[in-house]
Amino acid sequence: MATKPDDASLLKVLGNWDVLALGFGAMIGFGWVVLTGDWIGSAGTLGAVLAMAAGGVIMAVVGLTYAELTASMPKAGGEHNFLLRGMGPRWSFIGSWGIVGGYVTIVAFEAVALPRTALYLFPDLNQIHLWDVAGSEVHLTWALVGSIAAIVITTINILGVKFASVVQTFVVVLLLIIGL
């Protein structure tokens, strides 16, 4: 007979600064800085300002929604829990898999951003041409940097949320220092 998991087993391991760093890193991130330069440049000054303002308004609404839902349903599970309580198990299942799909695509986005950054630092990184995709060349060394980064990030997440938050805090602080 299956037993219900005890809520006490879900220990609070993150402090306020840890959560802030995780949220900041997840929303501000790194990949968009590297990969959207061409998009923003082609939009012009007014287009870039409007896009950033619209994105900021959307993120503010999302943040307020999460704040309200988290305060009213303080259980582990985030979006899965919100959907389960609000719309039932079927929509919670569909929504949770949708979120997993979103996270998988973000990993692919970030796996392209890191090698592109490495290319700025090491201009001769592109070695051993493999193939072309949509007019862009793919090189083995470039692909290896992205693959190794994905393995490292996966390992960090497997090691636990507290370790991941320490790494994320370091990366966010480094990103802010570089930005300044």
Q: What is the mean pLDDT of residues 99-118?
A: 80
Residue 10 has pLDDT above 70, yes or no: no
Cβ proximity of 96 and 84 under 8 Å: no
Identify which has the larger pLDDT, 64 or 28: 64
71 phi, psi to nearest 5 deg: -65, -35
Residue 3 has pLDDT above 60, yes or no: no
Cβ proximity of 84 and 77 under 8 Å: yes
Q: What is the mean pLDDT of residues 121-150?
A: 86
Measured CA to CA in angstroms, residue 90 lies from 53, 86, 99 at distances of 35, 11, 14
**What is the predicted pLDDT for the residue at 1?**
47
**DSSP for residue 133:** E
Tell me the per-residue pLDDT of 138-177, one tens digit each, with 9 for 90 and over: 889 888 888 888 888 889 888 988 888 888 888 888 878 8
Longest dimension (CA), the chain: 63
